[in-house]
Amino acid sequence: MNEGIEIRPRVDGDVDACARLLVEVHERDGYPVEGVADPHGWLVLGDTGRAWVAVVEGNVAGHVGLGPAGDGGAVELWKARYGSEERPFASIGRLFVAPAARGRGVARALLERAVSAGRRQGRQLVLEVMEKDRAAIRLYEHLGWECIGRLDHVVGAGARVPALAYALPG
């Protein structure tokens, strides 16, 4: 199913293509809920984050990021459920796929690459997803992610969007 999909580290030269793709995804799906006034800024993961792109037929067709997870949100829900964790947490996010490339395994391939990197780093992996993003939720659950609770994703001037927190067992 991943035939013809190349997953590679994102390089500076990919950011413009990723930003254009993000705007297209937002127009179709409302992702990210924060909007895309500054798509380049939204893609910045900081010095400690990593990102990958999917390339299909020579074009950037998707993106995923992996970075340190903050203390709130999914991490707080994880600790409430399971107690303390010796491993550091990492969060998978900024996962999006071109509408034209969907149904070909692009999201799965990107997610698997980020999971592999996080596990090699010895991280406990978590993510947050908006409740409206049903296709993403189905993918996460199909790949063994466990819903660990509900939370509100705060955007803009305090608007709250219902979200779910997931953790990958193991």
For helices 134-142 and 106-120, the axis angle rounded to 10 degrees is 50
Containing 75, the helix (H) or strand (E) segment is helix 73-82
Please check the confidence at residue 70 and state whether its pLDDT lies above 90. Answer: no
Residue 161 belongs to what domain range? Answer: 5-167
Here the CATH number for the domain that contains residue 111 is 3.40.630.30
Q: Are 127 and 115 in contact (CB under 8 A)?
A: no
Tens digits of residue pLDDT in 111-164 = 999 999 999 999 999 999 999 999 999 999 999 999 999 999 988 778 899 999
Tens digits of residue pLDDT in 8-57 = 999 999 999 999 999 999 999 999 998 889 999 999 877 678 999 999 99
Number of domains composing the chain: 1
Sheet architecture: strand order including 89-97: 5-9, 50-56, 59-68, 89-97, 124-130, 159-167, 146-155
